[in-house]
Amino acid sequence: MRKITVIGTGYVGLVSGACFSEIGNRVICCDVDENKINRLRRGEIPIYEPGLQELVERNAKAERLYFTTEVGEAIESSDIIYIAVGTPMSETGEADMRYVMSAAKKIGEHLNGHKIIVNKSTVPVGTGELVREVIQANKKVPWTRFDVVSNPEFLREGSAIADCMSMDRAIIGSDNQEAADVIAELHAPFKTRIFFTDLESAEMIKYAANTFLATKISFINAIANICERVGANVADVSAGMGLDSRIGSKFLQAGIGYGGSCFPKDTYALAHISDKAGYDFELLKSVIRTNQKQRYIVMDKLREAVGGLAGKQVAVLGLAFKPETDDMRYAPSLTIVPELLKQGASVRAYDPIASDSAKRELPSGVHYYERLEQAVNGADVCVILTEWQSVVSMDLALIRSLMKHPVIIDGRNCFDLQVMERFGFEYHSVGRPPVNMAERDRQSVNL
């Protein structure tokens, strides 16, 4: 059993701390946010993640998982200290390192014996050395030893528990092999592959991995836009590409672009890192621009389908940036919904989990519904922004009967074209031919 302190009870810190306690370690999750810690002590989970509630309750009851605002005491009572604080994007695009530096200073002030300091936060290359300098400058006893390790996280929101308990790899960067071996041993119960490297390479691996995945998404979205112009079907194109083992099928689903807490922040951060290093990363900057433009494709399809939006009832299905989370960070809905309101549409929104989060982020004037059927009832057009299971499995016959006009703009390519044609929807997706456009044209002529 290891004594671990995790500084930061956000998404990464809370999930990681709970999983480390699940495999038998004593874990203290600490945060300066007293309200958040009090909620966690009461068993209230501040984020939505499937399975996390049960995991926290089980390990807190077993007295393996604790929550505190006394960060100094938590540091002093543990052998391994994880820094898992936020590194939000600043106005310049670089990672905001204030919370990481504050945690490092606190560690230095309470360093009472040899400890291994692990950077779990996504941080720019060189942060490991910077953390070392801050701790060294603030420690009370000059000869107290410590080691710094980089162990970046690769958790996906919505499947974070599985990603941690059955992780496919652990990257461990350090200039001290003994410290790296301790962190490797900590991961042994996860039965994962271990890759050892230096601090700087571990920090770069995190950014390189996320920006490469973002590149795949922007690439297939660009291909989708071409497919629409030449009559090809991007679903078939991506499936054919994915058969090539050098490419693979993951992250080749066309849609309205990436969002969330990682890809937008990490792409901007790496672009800033490359500029600072004197390299113009034109490819990555194009990825960012492509993603920004992609969500406006939905607005173009809306205007084409229904003409002016003023006075139209628009059902928006899905507000979170992806299913199985209430995270609204960089969600396409943050672009689409305000634009709909600006153009005079009445927005009828449905999300099974993220409505409360959305109310804090979206403008007033949005009508929220607890049931999907309520949102689409009487709608002139329906827009799909998140592929929740309740959305992809909705009763199409019922939905068609409830809508004023059976028009769906699908930003996530949830439905088979032949199915939508059979149910009589005018259906516009991304990178695929539209369905039942001829029927609308005939109706216009008859009118």
Which of these, 92, 145, 103, 98, lies nearest to 9 by C-alpha position? Answer: 103
- Write b or e for each residue in 51-60: b if 16 or more Cβ atoms lie within 10 A of its Cβ, otherwise e: ebeebbeebb
Please, are residues 261 and 157 in contact by the beta-carbon 8 Å criterion? Answer: yes
Cα-flanking dihedrals φ and ψ of residue 377, to 5°? -65, 115
Catalytic residue chosen out of the listed positions 227, 262, 382, 414? 262
- Residue 305 tokens, joined: 């389908």
Which one-letter amino acid corresponds to residue 319? L
Please, are residues 224 and 430 in contact by the beta-carbon 8 Å criterion? Answer: yes
Helix axes 199-230, 127-138, angle to 10 degrees: 140
Q: Cα separation of 182 and 13, whole Å?
A: 19
Which of these, 264, 228, 235, lies nearest to 249 by C-alpha position? Answer: 235
The terminus-to-terminus CA distance of the chain in angstroms comes to 76
Q: Cα separation of 199 and 321, whole Å?
A: 31
Length of the chain measured in residues: 447
Q: Cα 395 from chain centroid?
A: 28
164 a catalytic residue? no
Q: Cα separation of 216 and 353, whole Å?
A: 28
Q: Cα separation of 26 and 77, whole Å?
A: 10
Q: Cα separation of 103 and 98, whole Å?
A: 9
Please, are residues 152 and 160 in contact by the beta-carbon 8 Å criterion? Answer: no
Please, are residues 195 and 169 in contact by the beta-carbon 8 Å criterion? Answer: yes
- Residue 242 tokens, joined: 């994915």
- Residue 420 tokens, joined: 């939508």
Give the ranges where 252-388 is alpha helix by DSSP (H).
Answer: 263-276, 282-294, 296-306, 333-342, 355-361, 372-376
Which are the catalytic amino acids?
262
